[in-house]
Chain A
């Protein structure tokens, strides 16, 4: 089962010999039609991407009460206040913390799963489909179920811990514990997805490399670390980028993890409040300060841009170093 991930559209063969009667029209056609064909994307991007982005920036320069009718211009005040706002930095640390402790185990587990699925198993397709099941469940449903599992007094996790003599953990009011609980949720959902992508890349590795390694006396473990992993590098980086984008925008899982009064805080001391939650808290209840919330949105955008650039730099370094197979692998 090979997955074709090449997203480039098939190129239409160039009409070499247009009918003479069309002349000028045909030339205009070849010149402008391509723009017409790609226009829908740019139109939709303009309406749903660029315009909201610009409007959010405009809003962030104002003292904008969500319900109010007057929105005085305040310049960069929202931004200067935000940079001095300890709750903002706190949310940033939460976001990065949850990102790290969810992504690292997630990719390791995915790699291990993919390796297992790459072997000659019985009912192989069944297993491969099964790992994707968590990914098709509703995030909100998952979060509510996990929220109950990680309950302080009635939760199943604490009950199990109690059986082995560990004291109850306040999963929702301990900063690190709540990060772990939310990471578990994210990993449950995304490990299978990443495993399938890694599996597809694994299958593109030529068999003869393994045969050669086996003849040289390399064990299976050695083959995995010296043949499989290096050739998977571009795919691993791809998975990391996808996980970065998802991780920095994490909202539904931590939001639904908490219930009761003001769940948007992510715990009484904002233990697991992510940046998107902080944005929501300011733009909507209880502050209804749309300008301040928009400023959070823009700083989040800047943060993602910075991380994306870092990703590209790392990609260039690693992708370039993996030999002639690197580019080929990157396209898969």
Chain B
């Protein structure tokens, strides 16, 4: 290639510059104006908002809603959201924040719009008191998020597998099988002895987390951190008790060891490889999505062993970086209103955090066709107002990851229960210090 003659070079440069200017001119044209405002909503798992978006867009012709993230798991979603917040761009106009991560976001409230400045204070009565408080910063001056759902817990089970194992299949009789966790284990042992080719439960980690949150909720109201934010993983009796019960479950060979939320876990749903799964209200939507239409009517819902408990639940927040804050706040208010929460519950099962919604006949009388017509409204809803929240400390997510991984190593036979406990405590302390 010879060097371009100077004049030609100049001509090319001029042409290129002109082209750039023209393109830029065109691009700049469509930013402002009367066109519809597009709001992006970031969620994970199954929030069940599709129908509500349609309604909202019909009532507000100036708003177009785009949702991202349905079906992704929390471990993919949370880091992405954090990166967007840290980078100052990329996050949606309305974002879902899971309770475990809320604590960390509350430490840096500057990333979010203070909803109290936008008339949210009037909405306080629309939420269970602890749910409202969970969205407030420690000083109570900023509201980061409006509550969506709470995670009242039940036990979902496969009727067909129970029948095969010679166990009762009616939900009331099944509930009577396991008033306590030792009873649940005893039932599991009977199930395993019947050799159905399926395991009794999906993964010990899920069950561990359920027992922990239940035990903690029924005693001091905290799990890995106490309310003064001191790490108490090795001194809180609730943690140890949940650990020991889980070790009994593993010892009895009840777990299918399908690492929760993995490809294998999803396959196990599809192939009917386990009979029970600890079931916060939002899990019903996950089960339906994973097990598919083939399993419709084969699942049912019974009481959880032990007494109540809350696992999960989220808030909707508006990041400060949103370019359409006013519209986004209105949408968040709509989605978290009693009406919005009822709509989401009907679509995918997340249990409302609004007392009005919980009392609404649409909830109290709700049944779920996928789960053999189980009265989900009364199963999950009846205890919802008496749910006791569990306090989450600053590094809850990191600590929980370490302890659950320790459960997993015992489940897979890589560690003995004693070694596993030592690992859990050591690694949790290390994670908390990072």
Contacts and interface: CB of A to CB of B under 8 A. Distances in A.
Contact of A286 (B83, B108, B265, B398): B398
Nearest to A68: B108
Nearest to B256: A153
B108 A67 contact: yes
A259 B409 CA distance: 16
Contacts of A190: none
A287 B398 contact: yes
Interface stretch (B54-62, B72-80, B236-244): B72-80
Given A173-B412, A173-B414, A268-B412, A67 B107 contact: yes
Interface string A139-160: 0000010011001111000000
A21 interface: no
Interface string A33-66: 0000000000000000000000000000000011
Given A68-B107, A284-B82, A269 B263 contact: no
Contacts of B404: 261
Contact of A261 (B2, B73, B395, B409): B73
A67 B82 contact: yes
Interface string B407-419: 0110010100000
B353 interface: no
A269 B434 contact: no
B383 interface: no
A324 B265 CA distance: 60
Nearest to B86: A66
A264 B80 CA distance: 13
B405 A265 contact: yes
A258 B397 CA distance: 19
B401 interface: yes
A282 interface: yes
Interface residues of B, number: 43
Interface string B1-23: 11100000000000000000000
A263 B271 CA distance: 23
A284 B83 contact: yes
B110 interface: yes
Contact of A288 (B2, B104, B271): B104
Contacts of B271: 154
Contact of A154 (B85, B105, B264): B264
A286 B205 contact: no
Given A261-B73, A268-B412, A292-B434, A66 B82 contact: yes
B405 A268 contact: yes
B263 A151 contact: yes
Contacts of A325: none
A82 B104 CA distance: 23
Contacts of A170: 412
Contacts of A68: 107-108
A326 B34 CA distance: 69
B434 A67 contact: no
A183 interface: no
A285 B434 CA distance: 12
Given A67-B104, A173-B412, A288 B73 contact: no
B86 A261 contact: no
A12 interface: yes
Contacts of B431: 286-287
5 contacts: A12-B1, A154-B267, A259-B264, A260-B262, A261-B205
Given A67-B107, A268-B414, 20 more contacts: A12-B1, A12-B2, A65-B108, A67-B104, A68-B107, A147-B263, A151-B263, A152-B264, A153-B264, A172-B259, A173-B412, A258-B262, A260-B73, A260-B264, A261-B260, A264-B75, A265-B401, A284-B79, A286-B397, A286-B398
Interface of B: 1-3, 73, 75, 78-79, 82-83, 85-86, 104-105, 107-108, 110-111, 205, 257-265, 267-268, 271, 273, 395, 397-398, 401, 404-405, 408-409, 412, 414, 431, 434
